[in-house]
Amino acid sequence: MTNKEIVLKFYEEVFNGWDVSNIDAYMADDYIQHNPNTETGKKGFLKFAEKFLAMKPHMEIRSIMEEGDLVCVFFKCTLANGMINKVFDLYRLENGKLCEHWDCVEHDVGGIVPKHDNGLF
């Protein structure tokens, strides 16, 4: 399985399926987190996921790119309350597992009217 395929499977099972029961298959124990609002490590991710998955997110992947051990995912994240976020996640994989993460999020873009005709996504 390619790194890109691993990340796609992770998104479908964990984020769209709201299921962290198989997290050991996807994530290294010493997972490095670069988002300043989330604790590092697999335990930090699980703490984040408990709150985030309660919002019933749905990730609609718009683009995914793989270069070496890095996978970048660009997606539309719609929460159960209707909030839409625009997100880029960058992962580094090692031995078939997520081992490092960076992200950039534009929150609550659903009501924004762009000053152009290019769309938000």
pTM, two decimal places: 0.93
pLDDT of residue 113: 86
Cα–Cα distance between 49 and 73 in angstroms, integer?
Answer: 18
CATH for 3-106 is 3.10.450.50
pLDDT tens readout for residues 2-57: 999 999 999 999 999 999 999 999 999 999 999 999 999 999 999 999 999 999 99
pLDDT tens readout for residues 51-81: 999 999 999 999 999 999 999 999 999 999 9
Location of structure tokens 């670069």: 34
Instruction: Kindly tell me if the per-residue pLDDT of 112 is higher than 90.
Output: no
Strand partners, 61: 75
Cα–Cα distance between 93 and 10 in angstroms, integer?
Answer: 12
For residue 64, count other CB atoms closer than 10 A to its CB: 16
Closest to 37 in 3D by CA, of 103, 108, 93: 103
pLDDT of residue 114: 87
Cα–Cα distance between 90 and 32 in angstroms, integer?
Answer: 12
